[in-house]
Amino acid sequence: MEQDLERWKRFKHGDPAAFEDMIRGEFRALFEYGSRFIHDRDALNDCIHDLFASLWDRRRFLADTDRIRPYLIKSLRNRLLKEIERRHALTTFETWHENANAEEDTETRLISSESEARRKQRIGTVLHTLTPRQREIIHLKFFEDLSHEQIAEVLEISRPAVANLLSQALRLFRAKWQTILPSFLFALLY
Amino acid sequence: MMIQAFADYPPSKRTKWCFNMKYYKDYDLEDFLQDDSFRSWVSGTADATADLWEEIVRLYPDKKVIMQQARELILTWQEHSAIVTDQQLEDQVQRILHTTQAATEEPGQRLAWRNWLSVAAMVTLLVALGGAFFWKSEQQAGKPGGQVAYMPEATAAMKEVVNTSARQMRIGLPDGSRVSLAPKGRISYANDFINHKKREVYLSGEAFFDVTKDPQNPFFVYANGLVTRVLGTSFLVKTSDTNVEVQVHSGRVSVLPLKDIEHPSERSNELLLTPNQQAVFSVKDNVISKTITNMPLELIKPDAEAGFVFENQPVSKVFSALEKVYGIPIVYDAAVMEQCSLRVELSNEPFFTKLDIITQTLGAAYRVSDGQVVISSEGCR
């Protein structure tokens, strides 16, 4: 946290190395997160580019933060939502699954193990039953390791709402998982 | 049952596991998902803990379902993850920096030749070539200066510049990059400078390059069998008849033996260098090894108030301060050196002198391996 604050301050003072470090350190996580919203890689690159460019322009006026990543994710989220509104061509979390499946057609051909392909398909079905918001919160919680507090800030909802949404998402995931694959797991574990 | 299960394992492992086991007994889905060690096991990146997780499945059958759920969720997420390659990352970073630097520059302001540090879009490169190599290449080529280390097969019109004067010669390349060529230095490049999305320069002798940043058209320097790819940075290349040395001052540079450039599968020989690291390329063996420059530079200033003054601080703090300032990884056994603390005042000594002082105080030793400093110590009482 302290490191973040120090890095952020150096960036605000116009230290180009600190800025470059920050881009290098955060780009992949932002891209990863953003790609759950939109699939157009160029558009996503543009959004991240604009985000950093605008940060640099406004650096003197920015408030201090000791948590750079949640701050950037939130800023990117706002940008992406605007971009999605503006461009109807872009997809949202809603269609993540469908698009992923289209990619999988070529992917699955490469998979030699049939059970592996089946496993993917099944999991895809389970995830599809989650709402876009539930998938987003799972991503932020378990794949970005954000705290409930940070998620609350990113999604602009209250902390209890985060806890609620998260437990709902996991409960739903478990329930679906159990009804769809009762016998399969024994095969995998032994 | 627990005792039976553990009987097969060495005692040290056993104690650790007993502690962990108790802990995992109450794990729920959320805990598994957030456990780094569990996640790396699932992704197949950590073999060391595999036994542990399999043991947990055996001991707590009721955790099996949860673990399987966590496993599948993690795998699914990873399958859907958007891969950003190093090259793509680099391109995007350069693109952002290009935009912000253009905005920072005052319109019409020309950049001072010496002021390169403030302009990340420039690259400094020095190539020094041993006289012996000169002699050899002239023999091979059969005409003076005709053959540099590597010439393109293409018959594209080449421009060659030779510095016959006794002073540095400044040359502007078509892309805006500038070269300061030392006496007897030679450089050649295609008249059509940007070719197949590459900017390529062949050289012998000694030269400084200030390279204009252009991520779409990377800049390559060919010297005596070694290819240096510029990723927006400053570095030094020295060649002799037997070796080529590349030292990185800031940013990143990648080097590759020339013979491998046509074989993408051989790209594993490509070495990425970070500041204060140095690659030594042996011309004879076609092998690159990575080490540290003789006189590493401070990449960032140490904290103003604290500096390198440590009052009874744990060594981990001292090492991480060094790592930060010089950008050189320091590897040590944290468990063995846990008890080691240090009272030491350092200031402007060179990096290796600092290391000498620290290791001598601790009764430890160090060596340099693969661009890292490896500390060996028997611990402190």
Residue A22, domain CATH: 1.10.1740
Q: CA-nearest residue of chain B to A15?
A: B118
> What is the reported pLDDT for A26?
92
Q: B348-373 pLDDT, tens per residue? A: 788 888 888 888 888 888 888 878 88
Same domain for A162 and A129: yes
CB A34 within 8 A of CB A26: no
Q: Hey, what amino acid is at A58?
A: R
Say yes or no for a CB contact (<8 Å) between B100 and A189: no
The kind and range of the H/E element at B127 are strand B127-129
List, in order of start, the domains of chain B with CATH numbers: 2-79 (no CATH), 122-292 (2.60.120.1440), 308-376 (3.55.50.30)
| Segment of A31-40, A104-113, B98-107 carrying the highest mean pLDDT | A31-40
- Name every chain A residue with its beta carbon within 8 A of the beta carbon of B68: 185, 188-189
Same domain for A136 and A75: no
Reported ipTM exceeds the 0.90 cut: no
* Mean pLDDT confidence for B336-342: 85
- Which residue did the predictor score with more confidence, A153 or A128? A153
- Which residue did the predictor score with more confidence, B128 or B377? B377
Residue A41: band (very low, low, confident or very high) from pLDDT cuts 50, 70, 90: confident
> What is the reported pLDDT for A116?
60
The answer, yes or no, to whether residue A109 has pLDDT greater than 50, is: no
Q: A4-18 pLDDT, tens per residue? A: 888 898 998 888 889
The answer, yes or no, to whether residue A107 has pLDDT greater than 50, is: no
CB B126 within 8 A of CB B236: yes
Same domain for A78 and A98: no
Q: B274-329 pLDDT, tens per residue? A: 778 888 888 777 778 888 887 787 777 766 556 678 888 888 888 988 888 888 88
CB B220 within 8 A of CB B199: yes
Angle between helices A41-57 and A16-34 in degrees, nearest 10: 150
The answer, yes or no, to whether residue A79 has pLDDT greater than 60, is: yes
Closest CA to B235 of B199, B202, B211: B211
Same domain for A110 and A73: no
- Name every chain B residue with its beta carbon within 8 A of the beta carbon of A100: 80
Residue B179: band (very low, low, confident or very high) from pLDDT cuts 50, 70, 90: confident
| Segment of A103-112, A127-136, A178-187, B153-162 carrying the highest mean pLDDT | A127-136
- Which residues, 6 or more positions from B325, have their beta carbon under 8 angstroms from its beta carbon? B298, B299, B300, B301, B302
DSSP state of A143: I
Q: B95-148 pLDDT, tens per residue? A: 898 888 765 544 333 333 333 332 332 333 333 333 323 333 333 333 333 333
Query: Looking at the 3D structure of chain A, how many domains does it have?
Result: 2
> What is the reported pLDDT for B131?
30
Q: What CATH code is carried by the domain that includes residue A184?
A: 1.10.10.10
Q: Hey, what amino acid is at B190?
A: A
Closest CA to B193 of B210, B177, B213: B177
CA B332 to CA B126: how far, in whole Å? 34
CA A91 to CA A106: how far, in whole Å? 21
Say yes or no for a CB contact (<8 Å) between B92 and A45: yes
Same domain for A101 and A76: no
Indicate the Cα dihedral angle A149, B37, B84, B193, nearest 10°: 120
CA B207 to CA B198: how far, in whole Å? 20
Say yes or no for a CB contact (<8 Å) between A189 and B72: no
Q: Judge residue B143's burial from the number of C-beta atoms within 10 Å of its C-beta, 0-12 exposed, 13-18 middle, 19 or more buried.
A: exposed
Same domain for A98 and A69: no
Percent of chain A with pLDDT over 70: 71
CA B247 to CA B291: how far, in whole Å? 10
Q: CA-nearest residue of chain A to B68?
A: A185
Q: CA-nearest residue of chain A to B90?
A: A24
- Name every chain A residue with its beta carbon within 8 A of the beta carbon of B73: 123, 138, 142, 173
- Name every chain B residue with its beta carbon within 8 A of the beta carbon of A143: 77
Q: Hey, what amino acid is at B226?
A: L
Same domain for A128 and A61: no
| Backbone φ, ψ for residue B159 (5° rounding) | -110, 135
Q: Hey, what amino acid is at B44?
A: G
Domain that holds residue A6: 2-86
Q: Is A60 on the interface with B (CB under 8 A)?
A: no
| Backbone φ, ψ for residue B282 (5° rounding) | -90, 115
CA B80 to CA A123: how far, in whole Å? 12
Same domain for A102 and A31: no
- Name every chain B residue with its beta carbon within 8 A of the beta carbon of A178: 65
Same domain for A112 and A37: no
The kind and range of the H/E element at A139 are none
Given A39, A60, A86, which residue is the final one in a domain? A86
CA B185 to CA B120: how far, in whole Å? 26
- When computed from its CA atoms, the radius of gyration of chain B, rounded to whole angstroms, is 27
Residues B217-223: contacts with CB under 8 Å, at least 24 apart: B217/B175, B219/B123, B219/B177, B221/B125, B221/B127, B222/B148, B222/B149, B222/B150, B222/B258, B223/B127, B223/B129, B223/B149
Closest CA to B336 of B366, B318, B316: B316
Given A86, A104, A123, which residue is the final one in a domain? A86
DSSP state of A37: T
Same domain for A70 and A125: no
* Sign of the Cα pseudo-torsion (B232, B233, B238, B243, in order): negative
Structure tokens at B175: 């892309």
- Which residues, 6 or more positions from B196, have their beta carbon under 8 angstroms from its beta carbon? none
**DSSP structure string for B203-237:** EES-EEEEPPP-TTS-EEEEETTEEEEESS-EEEE
Indicate the Cα dihedral angle B293, B297, B299, B302, nearest 10°: 130
The answer, yes or no, to whether residue B2 has pLDDT greater than 50, is: no
Same domain for A98 and A19: no
Same domain for A55 and A139: no
* Mean pLDDT confidence for A20-34: 91
Cα of B309 to nearest chain A Cα, Å: 19
Say yes or no for a CB contact (<8 Å) between A174 and B69: yes
- Which residues, 6 or more positions from B297, have their beta carbon under 8 angstroms from its beta carbon? B249, B275, B276, B326
Say yes or no for a CB contact (<8 Å) between A170 and B89: no
* Mean pLDDT confidence for B42-46: 73
Residue B44: band (very low, low, confident or very high) from pLDDT cuts 50, 70, 90: confident
CB B366 within 8 A of CB B375: yes
Percent of chain B with pLDDT over 70: 70
Say yes or no for a CB contact (<8 Å) between A32 and B79: no
Given A60, A86, A112, which residue is the final one in a domain? A86
Q: Is A27 on the interface with B (CB under 8 A)?
A: yes
CA A48 to CA A33: how far, in whole Å? 11
